[in-house]
Amino acid sequence: MTIRKKVWRSAVLLIALLPGLGQAAGALLLVGGGLKDDNAAIYQRFIQLAGGTGQAKIGVITAASIPESQDPDAGTADAANSRANGEYYANLLRSTYGAANAQWIPIDLDNIANSSNPTVVSQINGMTGFFFGGGDQSRLTQVLQTSSRADTPALAAIRAKYNAGAVLAGTSAGTAIMVDGPMVTGGESYEALRYGPYTTPSGDDLAYDPQGGFGFFNYGLLDTHFSERGRQGRIVRLADYTNVPFAFGVDENTALLVQNNASLGQVEMEVIGAGGVFVFDLRNAELGSGSTWALYDVLASYLTRGDKYRPQTGQFVIGSGKTSLRGREQYSAALTATGDIFSSPNNSGADGRRKPREFVKVSADLFNSRSTSTLGRTYETNPRYRVDLIKSTQFDSHGYKGTVGGQSLTSYLRLLVDIRLN
Q: Is residue 3 part of a domain?
A: no
Has 225 been annotated as catalytic?
yes
pLDDT at res. 392: 98
Is the same domain home to 166 and 189? Answer: yes
Q: Is residue 4 part of a domain?
A: no
pLDDT at 351: 77
The answer to whether position 349 is within a domain reads yes
Average pLDDT on 334-357 reads: 95
pLDDT at 11 exceeding the cut of 60: no
Query: Which secondary structure element, helix H or strand E, spans residue 308, and what is its range?
Result: strand 308-310
* CA 384 to each of CA 193, 309, 312, 379: distance values in angstroms, whole numbers, following the listed order: 10, 34, 37, 7
172 part of the active site = yes
Lowest mean pLDDT among 183-192, 343-352, 409-418: 343-352
What was the pLDDT predicted at 142? 97
What average pLDDT does the segment 178-199 reach? 97
Q: What is the DSSP letter of 236?
A: H
Task: Kindly report whether the peptide bond that precedes residue 383 is cis, defined as omega within 30 degrees of 0.
Answer: yes
Please report the pLDDT score of residue 290 as a whole number: 86
**Residue 313: inside a domain, yes or no?**
yes
Q: Please state the rounded mean pLDDT for residues 199-223.
A: 97
Same domain, 276 and 365: no
The whole-number pLDDT of residue 15 equals 43
How many CB atoms are located within 10 Å of the residue 417 CB? Answer: 23
Q: Is the pLDDT of residue 19 over 80?
A: no
Is there a single domain that holds both residue 259 and residue 335? no
pLDDT in tens, 262-306: 999 999 999 999 999 999 999 999 999 988 999 999 999 999 999
The number of domains in the chain is 2
183 and 68 both lie in a single domain:
yes
Exposure class string for 367-376: b at 16+ Cβ within 10 A, else e:
bbbebeebbb
155 and 287 housed in the same domain? yes
**Within a domain: 135:** yes
User: Which DSSP helix (H) or strand (E) runs through 247?
Assistant: strand 246-250
pLDDT, residue 310, reads 98
Cβ-Cβ contacts under 8 Å for 60 (sequence gap 6 or more): 86, 87, 89, 90, 93, 102, 103, 104, 105, 130, 131, 133
> Tell me, what CATH number does 80's domain have?
3.40.50.880
* pLDDT of 260 over the 60 cut: yes
Contact criterion met (CB below 8 Å) for 123 and 113: no
Specify whether 101 is located in the same domain as 244.
yes
Chosen domain end from 265, 297, 317: 317
**The last residue of a domain, from among 261, 292, 317:** 317
* Percentage of residues in the chain having pLDDT higher than 70: 91
390 and 299 within one domain: no
Residue 396, in any domain of the structure:
yes
**Residue 388 placed within a domain:** yes
My answer on whether 300 and 388 are in the same domain is: no
For residue 156, what is the enclosing H or E element? helix 153-163
Mean pLDDT of 81-99: 96
In this structure, of 65-74, 342-351, 403-412, the range with the lowest mean pLDDT score is 65-74
Residue of 68, 188, 252, 358 marked catalytic: 252
Q: Which of 68, 191, 225, 397 is catalytic?
A: 225
Range of the domain at 372: 327-421
Q: Express each pLDDT in 25-83 by its tens digit.
A: 899 999 999 999 999 999 999 999 999 999 999 999 999 998 654 544 444 433 348 99
From the candidates 65, 82, 115, 172, which is the catalytic residue?
172
CB crowding 185-202: b at 16 or more within 10 Å, else e? bbbbbbbbbbbebbeebe
- Say whether both 312 and 362 belong to one domain: no
pLDDT confidence band for 1 (50 / 70 / 90)? very low
Q: Is residue 2 part of a domain?
A: no
Q: pLDDT averaged over the chain? A: 93
Please report which confidence band the pLDDT of residue 17 belongs to, taking 50, 70 and 90 as the band edges. very low
343 and 244 share one domain: no
Cα dihedral sign, 106-109-115-118: negative
**Is 293 found in the same domain as 144?**
yes
Instruction: With CA atoms as reference, report the closest residue to 60 among 109, 107, 103, 29.
Output: 103
Co-location of 32 and 172 in the same domain: yes
Distance CA 327, CA 181 (A): 42
Task: Output phi, psi for 186, to 5 deg.
Answer: 170, 175
Q: CA-to-CA distance for 422 and 336, rounded, in angstroms?
A: 17
Helix axis angle, 137-144 to 153-163, nearest 10°: 100
In the annotation, is 398 catalytic?
no
Is a pLDDT exceeding 90 seen at residue 12? no
- Dist. CA 103–CA 79, nearest whole Å: 17
Beta bridge partners of 416: 299, 390
214-230 pLDDT tens trace:
999 999 999 999 999 99
User: For residue 166, which amino acid is it?
Assistant: A
pLDDT band, residue 2 (cuts 50/70/90):
very low
pLDDT per residue over 126-147, tens digit each? 999 999 999 999 999 999 999 9
Residue after which a domain boundary falls, among 317, 346, 376? 317
Confidence check: pLDDT of 21 > 90? no
Per-residue pLDDT at 246: 98
